[in-house]
Amino acid sequence: MNLRDINRQGRIKHNDLDEFENLFKTYYAPLCNYVYSIIRDTDQSEEIVQEFFYNYWKNRKQISIKLSLKAYMYKSVRNSALRYIQHKHIEEKYRMKATHDDYITSPTNTLEDTELNGIVENTLKQLPDRCRQIFELSRFNGLKYQEIADTLSVSVKTVEADMTKALSAFRQNLSQYGLSPSK
């Protein structure tokens, strides 16, 4: 840890509220922007950063920072953002399960589901490999176009073009069965 961080951390540990306020004013907005880049929710980003500063002040005497204060702050809010995302995925999973459990299974619904699943599977099989992979990453894994482009080492325009092809194929195949797909 550099000398400035050591001094700052020492003053904060000894209840120097002015030093804490300077730290807050210096890093609040950048930390909020960083968290926003992870979770894409402004209010929740601010909540995570505020919670970090609250806990940092509350536990200032016990906190032991090894490398740098700035790295500590960024890592802390990053971890909180990732826990938030994980929590949201769990909530969504249970919401989907509850929705699925509420769905009344009748012979007609089962037949329609089976037919619809067959259409989806056949459409996926008809797509070129990369196009299918991009569609699955977007729709089944919930990745954004930029994340898909980074994962597959292709441009965002390529992802957009392949998604357009995939959605067009789904529209065409679903319209043959009298179904209108949602976007």
Q: Which domains, from first to last, does the chain contain? A: 3-91 (1.10.1740.10), 106-176 (1.10.10.10)
Contacts of 63 (CB under 8 A, 6+ apart): 9, 13, 56, 72
Q: State the Cα angle at 128 between 125 and 133, rounded to 5°.
A: 80
Residue 108's pLDDT band (cuts 50, 70, 90) = low
* Residue 183: predicted pLDDT: 46
More confident residue, 144 or 106: 144
Confidence band of 6 (pLDDT split at 50, 70, 90): confident
pLDDT at 23: 94
Q: What is the pLDDT of residue 117?
A: 79
Report yes or no: 163 and 135 within 8 Å, Cβ to Cβ.
yes
Question: Cβ(91)–Cβ(154) under 8 Å?
Answer: no
Q: Which position has the higher pLDDT, 100 or 156?
A: 156
Specify the pLDDT at position 22.
95
Q: How does pLDDT run across 28-87, given as a tens digit for each residue?
A: 999 999 999 999 999 999 999 999 999 999 999 998 888 888 999 999 999 999 999 999
